[in-house]
């Protein structure tokens, strides 16, 4: 097996439920998640006994071996085994930003932290899967203007333009504003708080939850691989907020990323709805 379990750095490949599954036209496979460390490869395609793939895509239009993902440095490369079709790699947080990987291209480097790889099919629906590259590194804000090389950096750096960061700021907001030990907001409260945001106003509760999971598991690697008990969900949010504030990952200056706070009494109004 090429992927290994546990919170290993590298990339995470996620195939949603219903895209994979058994060969021969049965379209409802379970969701698949693969973790790949640096240097590891995952092949994708329809697969067969002779051409095994790590990521099986059940569509007749997709070849047995459609492509390969290879993790290198802090990013990944896409090889397109198709002789006729380009693959699209979209950045779901990039306002339409995408890359086109032409047929037979070997090892095209993919710069996005979040990617959706889209493969054409004969029908109207495309097949896609997601690739996350959480190891991207960002310089410390207070270390700017100093040559980057052998400097000491924060090892858990965050992309302050990413949606997960916005969610994190919203999680930290009550404590940043009054520094008291008020409760960390719930997912519905976050959804409500971000509703007026120009680009992230439509975030669903499910999306907010998965951003929180991504922060906990891939960015901060809270608790390590042994502590994935399902009943720690509330503790996890508290922990994320505690760490983000303690280590200065979220600071007062980040509050401007949030929509202007509702007028006094906003909370009560929401609660009444």
Place of tokens 């609660």: 271
Give the shortest CB-180-to-another protein separation in angstroms: 14
| Comparison of 81 and 237: residue with beta carbon closer to another protein | 237
| Comparison of 57 and 133: residue with beta carbon closer to another protein | 133
Place of tokens 């509050």: 255
Rg, Å, the chain Cα set: 21
Give the shortest CB-199-to-another protein separation in angstroms: 26
Give the shortest CB-3-to-another protein separation in angstroms: 11
CA 167 vs CA 113, 189, 191, 212, 217: distances in Å: 16, 11, 9, 7, 15
Give the shortest CB-272-to-another protein separation in angstroms: 35
| Comparison of 101 and 133: residue with beta carbon closer to another protein | 133
Give the shortest CB-175-to-another protein separation in angstroms: 11
| Comparison of 196 and 238: residue with beta carbon closer to another protein | 238
Q: Please give the residue ranges that form the binding site for another protein (CB under 8 A).
A: 4, 6-10, 37-40, 71-74, 135, 137, 140, 142-143, 145-147, 149-156, 220-224, 239, 242-243, 245-248, 251-253
Contact 126, 73 (CB under 8 A): no
| Comparison of 51 and 146: residue with beta carbon closer to another protein | 146
Beta pairing, strands 108-110 & 114-119: unpaired
| Comparison of 151 and 204: residue with beta carbon closer to another protein | 151
Q: State which H helix or E strand residue 170 sits in.
A: helix 163-178
| Comparison of 28 and 138: residue with beta carbon closer to another protein | 138
Question: Cα(76)–Cα(133) distance, rounded to whole angstroms?
Answer: 8
Beta pairing, strands 41-45 & 55-56: parallel
Give the shortest CB-207-to-another protein separation in angstroms: 23
Neighbour-count burial of 62, counting CB atoms closer than 10 A to its CB (0-12 exposed, 13-18 middle, 19+ buried): buried
Q: Sign of the CA dihedral 169, 199, 131, 161? A: negative
Beta carbons within 8 Å of 38's beta carbon, 6+ residues apart: 9, 10, 71, 72, 73
Which residue in 111, 74, 67, 71 sits closest to 90, CA to CA? 111
Question: Cα(236)–Cα(25) distance, rounded to whole angstroms?
Answer: 40
Give the shortest CB-4-to-another protein separation in angstroms: 7
| Comparison of 109 and 201: residue with beta carbon closer to another protein | 109
Give the shortest CB-150-to-another protein separation in angstroms: 5
């Amino acid at each position: 097996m090429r992927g290994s379990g546990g919170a290993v750095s590298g990339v995470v490949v996620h195939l949603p439920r219903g895209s994979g599954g058994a060969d021969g036209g049965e379209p409802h496979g379970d969701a698949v998640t693969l973790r790949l460390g640096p240097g590891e490869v995952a092949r994708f395609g329809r697969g067969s006994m002779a051409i095994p793939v790590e990521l099986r895509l059940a569509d007749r239009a997709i070849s047995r071996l459609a492509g390969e993902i290879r993790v290198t440095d802090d990013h990944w490369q896409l090889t397109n085994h198709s002789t006729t079709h380009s693959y699209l790699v979209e950045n779901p947080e990039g306002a339409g930003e995408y890359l086109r990987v032409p047929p037979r291209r070997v090892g095209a480097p993919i710069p996005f932290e979040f990617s959706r790889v889209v493969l054409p099919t004969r029908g109207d629906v495309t097949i896609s899967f997601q690739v996350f590259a959480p190891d991207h590194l960002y310089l410390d804000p207070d270390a700017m203007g100093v040559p980057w090389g052998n400097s000491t950096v924060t090892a858990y750096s965050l992309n302050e333009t990413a949606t997960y960061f916005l969610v994190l700021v919203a999680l930290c907001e009550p404590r940043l504003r009054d520094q008291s030990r008020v409760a960390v907001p719930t997912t519905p409260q976050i959804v409500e708080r971000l509703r007026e945001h120009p680009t992230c106003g439509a975030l669903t509760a499910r999306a907010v939850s998965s951003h929180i999971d991504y922060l906990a598991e891939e960015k901060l690697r809270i608790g390590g691989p042994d502590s994935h008990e399902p009943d720690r969900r509330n503790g996890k949010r508290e922990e994320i907020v505690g760490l983000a504030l303690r280590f200065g990952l979220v600071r007062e200056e980040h509050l401007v990323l949030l929509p202007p706070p509702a007028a006094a009494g906003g909370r009560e109004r929401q609660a009444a709805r």
